Chain A
Amino acid sequence: MSLPAWWQLDVCRPVKIGPRELPGRIWTASGCFAYGLHAHGFAAADLPSPYAGLGAVVTKTVTPQPRSGNPMPRLVELRAGAINSIGLENVGFEVFLAEVLPELQARGVPTVVSLAATRPPEFGEMAARLHAAAAGMNHWHGVELNLSCPNVAEGGHDFGSDPGAVAACVAAARQHLPDRALLAKLTPNTARIAPLAAAARAAGCDAVAAINTVVGLDVDVVTGRPVLPRRFGGYSGPAIQPIALAKVDEIVREANVPVVGIGGIETAADALKFFALGCVAVQVGTAQMRDPFAAARVAAALRRPGAGGCWRR
């Protein structure tokens, strides 16, 4: 029997994703820690900073133009997770490039920039601008493509559920990102996720991030109507972890691509489940909203047990 990959994986070491080495394997997930600038100056008894030991902050998705997002309410807590329909509210790519990214660089925050667009060439244009403007920024490590966005050119279906569209977006970004990590964040809202991962890999991405939120809906029993004005939202949190683990397992076994695992991770034990399946890194999402120190605490807990200061089987 061959040993699983994680047997030899020291989960506290830096991680190489394509051409870049990131300082750690515990990241914060896109949309769950904004642009990574809101928790500076936060303190806790057990940690010096919410950024301690983080491998990367994946920033809130930015789009070519600013977006004001969806109507309220946009975020609903359920028993074991939350449904959101924020609607990609963001400052827009120009403001992000001029103001946000330089601030992250100045503060030394390891950064992966999440991008979304409605046409594949826009991913390429944003990647090219990033490459030109941020070339000297050593804390900017890469780009994560948020493909859960309507593909305007192809009738409004999400890019993320069509392997051809995934490949087109990845290829467009890849040609302008020779020296940064390129990740594609994949949706679980599809019968088979491995073909999407394989398409992303074939088009040149260095890793895939899985999973994005699960489509969900909640009903207000007083009104009898869906709670979210747009009916559906993205379900996240502890409840989706088994779904995430199943999707990650499918990718690891069927597509030859490194995986960054996401889905209900709150503790070191949660993270180890993803590492055990072969993930090279993980992202902490919804838990980061409850606790600005969540990802840093996972990283600290993983460093604790081993003799060398690091967790190891």
Chain B
Amino acid sequence: MGFLDAACREPRAWDLTGKVLANQPISGGLWRLDLALPHEVPCAPGQFAMLHPYERTQLVFRRPYSILAAQDATMSFLYRVVGRGSSLLAGLSQGEPVACLAPLGRPFPAPDAQTPAVLLLAGGVGLPPLHAWLERYGRPGDLPCFGGRDGGDVPWPLLPPPWHVAVERLSGVPSDREVFQGLVTDLALRQLAAAAAREYLVLACGPMPLLRAAAALAAARGWPCLVSVEEHMGCGYGVCKGCVVPLRDPASPAGWRNVNTCTDGPVFAAGDLDWDRFGSRQGGGAS
């Protein structure tokens, strides 16, 4: 975890009021929000913002959204309408204010000379951190793969080549796009068989089954793997203890300990997570 410790020792975030520049569906189920902030906010791929459309209503908590892009004073997000918070967000029109606390969390690391080629595995709204990573750090030989349920679940404008796309069902896939039918990890295995590189760093973000599959794929080959965990959050900045995940810790008496997704993550080395303790929990948090 050394590089992660160095990444964000001193937290630095701004509580800003942004204004909606654009807010529209980018595919059947995913929306893109562009926010104009009062000034540029330096951030790194994998970090997130806590958003609250506070003039619409008073939510008890803000909602966490991964940063898709940050250019000058514009910050962009990709989201799925799943509950009260995201429904409110989807109702926002151009010019409406949004409270934005950002940037938060530890990012995916930048590659250095020793970093092998990178295999990126993104699922659904898990795309933003990896899309941002590829835009900023991508090198020839990196292998970006995205998985969705069907063609309507894929934000096509964000996924030109070199992105490879997997869908479980072919409905809604544009006729001019080549896709793999199946899981994104199966797509990755097919691409790896044809790829030149023999070793990869695996970066993954998406639902828990995808993260488990990514971790298993990397572990089977002895490759390093970093995953960004999606967890319901209350505060987003480390104070509520409502988003903990189990981390292996040989130094603690129980052999594991809880850490915050928001401040110790959301990016973790896959080998550090105690996958068996995640269980089948669901619900809770703010939707």
In the bound complex, do residue B242 and residue A290 qualify as a contact, i.e. CB atoms below 8 Å apart? no
CA distance A220 to B74 in the complex (A): 38
In the bound complex, do residue A39 and residue B61 qualify as a contact, i.e. CB atoms below 8 Å apart? no
Size range of the chain A interface in the assembly: 35 or more
In the bound complex, do residue B283 and residue A220 qualify as a contact, i.e. CB atoms below 8 Å apart? yes
- Known contacts A38-B11, A68-B258, A289-B234; decide if A75 and B240 are in contact (CB<8 Å): yes
Q: Mark A66-97, 1 if CB is under 8 A from B, else 0.
A: 00110111111110111010100100000000
CA distance A80 to B59 in the complex (A): 8
B234 partner residues in chain A, CB cutoff 8 A: 75, 77, 82, 289
- Contact partner, A44, options B12, B14, B238, Cβ 8 Å: B14
Decide if B86 is an interface residue (CB 8 Å cutoff): no
Least CB distance from A126 to B in Å reads 20
- Known contacts A38-B238, A41-B10, A290-B52; decide if A80 and B60 are in contact (CB<8 Å): yes
Interface residues of A in 221-240 (CB under 8 A from B): 227-228, 237-238
In the bound complex, do residue A40 and residue B11 qualify as a contact, i.e. CB atoms below 8 Å apart? yes
Decide if B38 is an interface residue (CB 8 Å cutoff): yes
In the bound complex, do residue B60 and residue A237 qualify as a contact, i.e. CB atoms below 8 Å apart? yes
CA distance A75 to B284 in the complex (A): 6
In the bound complex, do residue B61 and residue A73 qualify as a contact, i.e. CB atoms below 8 Å apart? no
Decide if B62 is an interface residue (CB 8 Å cutoff): yes
A71 partner residues in chain B, CB cutoff 8 A: 279, 281
Size range of the chain B interface in the assembly: 35 or more
B241 partner residues in chain A, CB cutoff 8 A: 34, 60, 69, 74-75, 86, 89
In the bound complex, do residue A72 and residue B13 qualify as a contact, i.e. CB atoms below 8 Å apart? no
- Known contacts A84-B242, A289-B234; decide if A44 and B281 are in contact (CB<8 Å): no
In the bound complex, do residue A73 and residue B11 qualify as a contact, i.e. CB atoms below 8 Å apart? no
- Known contacts A41-B13, A82-B60, A237-B60; decide if A289 and B285 are in contact (CB<8 Å): no
Residue of B whose beta carbon sits closest to that of A78 = B60
Q: Mark A278-307, 1 if CB is under 8 A from B, else 0.
A: 000000001011111100000000000000
B15 partner residues in chain A, CB cutoff 8 A: 42-45, 291-293
Residue of B whose beta carbon sits closest to that of A91 = B257
Of the listed residues B13, B234, B281, the one surrounded by the most CB atoms of chain A closer than 10 A to its CB is B234
A238 partner residues in chain B, CB cutoff 8 A: 58, 60
Q: Mark B218-251, 1 if CB is under 8 A from A, else 0.
A: 0000000000000010110111111110000000
A75 partner residues in chain B, CB cutoff 8 A: 232, 234, 240-243, 284-285
In the bound complex, do residue B257 and residue A290 qualify as a contact, i.e. CB atoms below 8 Å apart? no
CA distance A73 to B231 in the complex (A): 10
CA distance A39 to B282 in the complex (A): 29
Interface residues of B in 21-41 (CB under 8 A from A): 38
CA distance A63 to B165 in the complex (A): 50
A291 partner residues in chain B, CB cutoff 8 A: 15, 62, 99, 101
In the bound complex, do residue A290 and residue B61 qualify as a contact, i.e. CB atoms below 8 Å apart? yes
B284 partner residues in chain A, CB cutoff 8 A: 72-76, 227-228
CA distance A144 to B244 in the complex (A): 26
Least CB distance from B126 to A in Å reads 19
B17 partner residues in chain A, CB cutoff 8 A: 45
B243 partner residues in chain A, CB cutoff 8 A: 75
In the bound complex, do residue B237 and residue A77 qualify as a contact, i.e. CB atoms below 8 Å apart? no
CA distance A42 to B243 in the complex (A): 20
A123 partner residues in chain B, CB cutoff 8 A: none
- Contact partner, A290, options B60, B258, B287, Cβ 8 Å: B60
In the bound complex, do residue B286 and residue A72 qualify as a contact, i.e. CB atoms below 8 Å apart? no
Decide if A32 is an interface residue (CB 8 Å cutoff): yes
Decide if A140 is an interface residue (CB 8 Å cutoff): no
Decide if A33 is an interface residue (CB 8 Å cutoff): yes
- Contact partner, A89, options B10, B58, B244, B282, Cβ 8 Å: B244
In the bound complex, do residue B285 and residue A69 qualify as a contact, i.e. CB atoms below 8 Å apart? no
Least CB distance from A98 to B in Å reads 16
Residue of B whose beta carbon sits closest to that of A228 = B284
Decide if B16 is an interface residue (CB 8 Å cutoff): yes
Of the listed residues A45, A81, A227, A292, the one surrounded by the most CB atoms of chain B closer than 10 A to its CB is A292
Which residue numbers of A lie inside 8 Å of B, CB to CB? 32-34, 38-45, 60, 68-69, 71-78, 80-82, 84, 86, 89, 220, 227-228, 237-238, 266, 286, 288-293
Residue pairs across A and B with Cβ atoms less than 8 A apart, 29 shown, are A32-B240, A33-B239, A39-B11, A40-B10, A42-B11, A42-B12, A43-B13, A43-B14, A44-B16, A45-B38, A60-B241, A71-B279, A72-B244, A72-B284, A73-B232, A75-B242, A75-B243, A76-B283, A77-B61, A77-B286, A78-B60, A82-B61, A84-B240, A286-B60, A288-B239, A289-B235, A289-B239, A289-B240, A292-B235
